[in-house]
Amino acid sequence: MAGPIRRIGVLTGGGDCPGLNAVIRAVVKTAINEYDWEVLGIEDGFEGLIQPGRVRQLTRADVRDILPRGGTILGTTNRANPFHYEVEVDGEVKVFDVSDDVVRHAQVLGMDALVVIGGDGSLHIAHELMQKGLKVVGVPKTIDSDLQGTVITFGFDTAVNTAMDALDKLSTTAESHHRVIILEVMGRDAGWIALKAGIAGGADAILIPEIPYDLDVVADKIARRNRGGAKFSIVVAAEGARPVDGKAVYQAEREIGGARRLGGIGEVLARQLRERCRVEVRVTVLGHLQRGGSPTAFDRLLASRFGTMAVHLIAQGKLGHMVALQDECIIAVPIAEAVAQQKFVPLNSDILLTAFGLDVCLGNSREVIEKMQAGE
Ligand code: F6P
């Protein structure tokens, strides 16, 4: 690295999740305590490097008391990709490449390196900016836990606990009323939250994007429970779950700079199960409750370890790398590797075996799932 480091930047990009503030706090404290560097906080993800006046110095005082707080003190957005920056001009959406401006802005600010705390979208951008000369280190975050290279991301544990808590509560009311209750959880392409919260919360059926579901199989599970005397059932559906012969359900068209919004699978399933099983069905959509609130102890610790290590990586010149958890240790993996593909629930996961052992319906028959697993 050319010259000594004096000042680094930090930003949070993409959807928020519990633990972001714990990372920011660890970055600021480690940079000041261990290296005597200045830290600049960039507001609202890459938007803060696109627009002027959105950068402020972060001191120890700025990060006091933020460890237990959800959200991010810096703000975030999932709509500011500098390589594809969408702006509405006279009612028309125009796309600009402002990536050179971002690199220049960082230089003008005297930023020797930038810590990007983000999911695959933000880390992708970070990787591309690195090719343009911006020195970056990544910190993986996402409640979906679908990033390669790290066993887990912070935010996921809190989200799973929130969903499990909802399942505990829904189970008692479902049992009282002899109903089927469907809990729709987040999980665009990967079903980690649905699967882990579903097992932890005692769900009877869990539908994940990785296993297209067959409604007959789900209906049969509910009927078997009714015949067996358990006259209620709990179904967890990831928002990205889809039937074998159908598509995922979207609740809204794409907004400027954003992605098309998933949602509504719970209601679709409810209609179909009402008809098929002649049962009362209710739906709860957990939505952004999963992204808010105070991080669990696990997430606070992981986020703090990630933040501290990100600063050490800069000092070691390990730019273009992302901190990651592997075998109980925080290590560095190339950002390029981490964003090359998403991490889906593997069909040979022992968690699926657990589900089979517990007689949890995974949306399709065991034979079909085993054939999928064998690649047939
Ligand atoms: O971070 C990913 C995610 O939590 C997805 O599971 C979900 O589809 C999306 O964020 C929702 O994002 P938004 O905040 O834009 O509604």
Q: State whether the beta carbon of 238 lies less than 6 angstroms from ligand 1.
A: no
Would you say 99 and 70 are in contact if contact means Cβ atoms under 8 Å apart? no
d(CA 332, CA 314): 11
User: Is 144 a residue of the active site?
Assistant: yes
Which residue out of 122, 124, 261, 290 has the highest number of ligand 1 atoms within 8 Å of its CB and is therefore the one to mutate? 261
What tens-digit pLDDT sequence spans the chain (376 residues)?
457 999 999 999 999 999 999 999 999 999 999 999 999 999 999 999 999 999 999 999 999 999 999 999 999 999 999 999 999 999 999 999 999 999 999 999 999 999 999 999 999 999 999 999 999 999 999 999 999 999 999 999 999 999 999 999 999 999 999 999 999 999 999 999 999 999 999 999 999 999 999 999 999 999 999 999 999 999 999 999 999 999 999 987 777 777 788 999 999 999 999 999 999 999 999 999 999 999 999 999 999 999 999 999 999 999 999 999 999 999 999 999 999 999 999 999 999 999 999 999 999 999 999 999 888 8
63's tokens:
């990060």
Encoded amino acid at 271, one letter:
R
Say how many Å lie between the CA of residue 189 and the centre of ligand 1. Answer: 11
Ligand 1 atom closest to Cα of residue 291: 4
Residue 195's nearest CA partner among 343, 361, 324, 365 is: 361
Q: Is 118 in the pocket of ligand 1 (CB under 6 A)?
A: no
Choose, from 120, 144, 146, 299, the residue flagged as catalytic. 144
Q: Report d(CA 114, CA 111) in Å as an integer.
A: 7
Nearest CA to ligand 1 atom 12: 15
The Cα-based distances of 245 to 61, 241, 276, 279, 320 in angstroms read 55, 12, 17, 24, 41
Q: Determine whether the shortest distance from the Cβ of 262 to ligand 1 is under 6 A.
A: yes
* Separation CA 290–CA 278 (nearest Å): 31
Q: Which residues pair with 11 in a beta bridge?
A: 42, 116
Angle, helix 265-277 to helix 215-227, in steps of 10 degrees: 60
Ligand 1 atom closest to Cα of residue 14: 1
Alpha helical stretches, state H, the chain: 20-30, 47-50, 99-108, 120-131, 156-177, 192-200, 215-227, 265-277, 297-315, 335-338, 350-357, 366-373
Mutate to test the pocket of ligand 1, among 185, 186, 342 (most ligand atoms within 8 A of CB): 186
Please identify, by atom number, the ligand 1 atom nearest to the C-alpha of residue 119.
1
Q: How far apart are CA 94 and CA 219, in angstroms?
A: 47
**What's the 259 CA to ligand 1 centre distance in angstroms?**
9
CB of 78 within 6 A of ligand 1: the answer is: yes
Does the beta carbon of 147 sit less than 6 angstroms from any atom of ligand 1?
A: no
For residue 340, the tally of other CB atoms under 10 A from its CB is 13
- Establish whether residue 184 lines the binding site of ligand 1, counting it when its CB lies within 6 angstroms of any ligand atom: no
Cα(168) to centroid of ligand 1, in Å?
A: 24
